């Protein structure tokens, strides 16, 4: 009997996303070190991300995806610092 030890597609996707987040975080940090305002970097990163999603999935699918952001933001999905 052979056991499949390859990660499930979902797990592999998570690993890819973690690596990608590392690249984006490094680029963000480099921009800030070069004197670019963090808010400017964040807006540029969002623009680039949505541009890629629209090219990949189309405008309607990307808009539906973005509809869930207000609830996720308010729910702390993107908060990394402890809340007071």
CA 54 to chain centroid: 14
Q: Would the CA dihedral through 69, 59, 53, 65 be positive or negative?
A: positive
**pLDDT of the chain, 84 residues: tens digit per residue:** 555 555 555 566 888 999 999 999 999 999 999 999 999 999 999 999 999 999 999 999 999 999 999 999 999 998 987 766
The pTM of the full predicted model, rounded to 2 decimals, is: 0.72
Question: What's the half-sphere exposure (Cβ side, CA atoms, 13 Å) at 1?
Answer: 1
């Amino acid at each position: 009997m052979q056991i499949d030890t390859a990660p499930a597609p979902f797990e592999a996707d998570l690993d890819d996303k973690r690596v990608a987040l590392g690249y984006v975080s490094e680029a963000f940090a480099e921009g800030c070190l070069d004197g670019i305002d963090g808010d400017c970097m964040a807006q540029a990163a969002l623009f680039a991300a949505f541009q890629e999603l629209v090219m990949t999935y189309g405008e309607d699918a990307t808009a539906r995806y973005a509809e869930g952001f207000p609830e996720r933001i308010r729910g702390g999905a993107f908060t990394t610092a402890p809340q007071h």
